[in-house]
């Protein structure tokens, strides 16, 4: 009887779970569903992935823990959330680290991205591709941010993260960490003068209704990663591993483009609603925050490598 069980196990279908915190209409969620579909196809149905959207399996920090311990198979995580677990990815969350979108993907798809991804092994995780999660820009209520001088004295809501707080301080603003749900009222009542996010969140949160000035400074563009638990990875045979990697590659290529389109759609909608969008001199902003790079000596050599990529 024991023999037949082990034979079953060899042909057994692997059922995995994937945690995504965004709703179904977001391109990143669609990318995850596509990934699951491709994995099924490429493994002839031997690896099945159930995608749980809307943070049903927990928020990003919770799902990272679960992946590390092997209680969850996959989680799609933004690198800004991952940085507290894996310090290595923190370099991608530094302000103005990427000079353009092209530069960003040359870095991530090249040796630098590969190296960082490989470093996740020591946290019991496998990194599967870098995914697009939008570029964050400032938006303000009373006056537009056209130059660094405009930020001076502004109360800017930032995410509860050291890098974001320091960045705003270096630009001369007062960094005000605040729960996301309170930002709309904060902007409206003047508790804060500005906040920052990508076009999609700017639109879907309704912040564009109360903060009409949006400045394209692109201070941060941290990518997302698809993480797989090492424990689950070890259950795959070589051809399945290959299939999972290929599926991630294909889905990520599609997702990056879809996310860009989605950003542009949101941009069109806020423009239609009467928001003004300002081009700014990114170089000046970059110079203002450049001391931040010295605060993270551990990234010194990798920053050099990133700068060397064109």
Q: Which two tokens stand for residue 68?
A: 């590390």
Identity of the residue, 183 or 259, whose beta carbon is nearer to other proteins in the bound complex: 183
Which of 99/188 has CB closer to other proteins? 188
Residue 280 corresponds to which tokens in the numbers above? 């700014």
DSSP H/E element including 152: none
Cβ 303 to other proteins shortest distance, Å: 20
Q: How far is the CB of 83 from other proteins (least distance, A)?
A: 9
Chain residues in the site for other proteins (CB under 8 A): 56-59, 61-62, 65-66, 68-69, 71-72, 84-85, 155, 159-162, 165, 174-182, 184-186, 188-191, 206, 209
Phi-psi region of 18 (alpha: psi -120 to 50; beta: other; left: phi over 0): beta
Residue 89 beta carbon to other proteins: minimum distance, rounded to whole angstroms: 13
Calpha distance 9→2 (Å, rounded):
11
The least CB distance from residue 177 to other proteins, in Å, is: 6
Closer to other proteins at the Cβ: 206 or 291? 206
Shortest CB 110 distance to other proteins, Å: 28
Q: How far apart are CA 81 and CA 240, in angstroms?
A: 28
Nearer to other proteins, 60 or 129 (CB): 60
Least distance to other proteins from the beta carbon of 71, Å?
4
Q: Which two tokens stand for residue 198?
A: 């990508």
What is the C-alpha separation between 46 and 25, in angstroms, rounded? 28
Rounded Cα–Cα distance for residues 203 and 267 (Å): 8
Question: Measured from the CB atom, is 169 or 271 closer to other proteins?
Answer: 169
Question: Which residue, 182 or 261, has its beta carbon nearer to other proteins?
Answer: 182
| CA pair distance 36, 247, nearest whole angstrom | 8
CA distances (Å), 191 to each of 44, 123, 198, 276, 282, in order? Answer: 56, 40, 21, 22, 27
């Amino acid at each position: 009887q024991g023999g037949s069980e082990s034979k079953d196990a060899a042909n057994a279908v692997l059922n995995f779970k994937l945690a995504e915190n965004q709703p179904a209409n977001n391109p990143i969620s669609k990318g995850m569903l596509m990934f699951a579909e491709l994995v099924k196809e490429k493994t002839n149905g031997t690896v099945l992935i159930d995608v749980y959207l809307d943070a049903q399996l927990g928020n990003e920090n919770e799902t990272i823990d679960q992946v590390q311990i092997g209680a969850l198979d996959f989680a799609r995580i933004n690198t800004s959330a991952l940085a507290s677990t894996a310090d290595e990815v923190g370099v991608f969350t530094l302000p103005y680290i990427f000079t353009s979108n092209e530069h960003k993907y040359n870095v991530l798809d090249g040796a630098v991205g590969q190296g960082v991804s490989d470093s996740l092994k020591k946290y019991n995780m496998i990194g599967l591709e870098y995914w697009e999660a939008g570029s964050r820009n400032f938006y303000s209520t009373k006056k537009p941010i056209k130059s660094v001088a405009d930020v001076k004295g502004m109360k800017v809501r930032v995410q509860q993260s050291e890098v974001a707080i320091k960045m705003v301080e270096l630009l001369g603003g007062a960094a005000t960490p605040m729960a996301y749900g309170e930002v709309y009222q904060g902007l409206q009542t003047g508790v804060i003068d500005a906040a920052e996010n990508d076009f999609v969140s700017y639109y879907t949160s309704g912040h564009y209704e109360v903060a009409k000035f949006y400045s394209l400074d692109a201070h941060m563009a941290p990518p997302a990663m698809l993480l797989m638990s090492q424990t689950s990875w070890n259950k795959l045979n070589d051809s399945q591993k290959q299939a999972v990697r290929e599926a991630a590659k294909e889905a990520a290529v599609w997702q990056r483009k879809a996310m860009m389109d989605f950003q542009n759609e949101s941009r069109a909608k806020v423009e239609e609603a009467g928001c003004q969008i300002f081009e700014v001199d990114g170089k000046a902003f970059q110079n203002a925050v450049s001391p931040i790079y010295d605060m993270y000596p551990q990234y010194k050599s990798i920053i050099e490598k990133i700068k060397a990529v064109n």
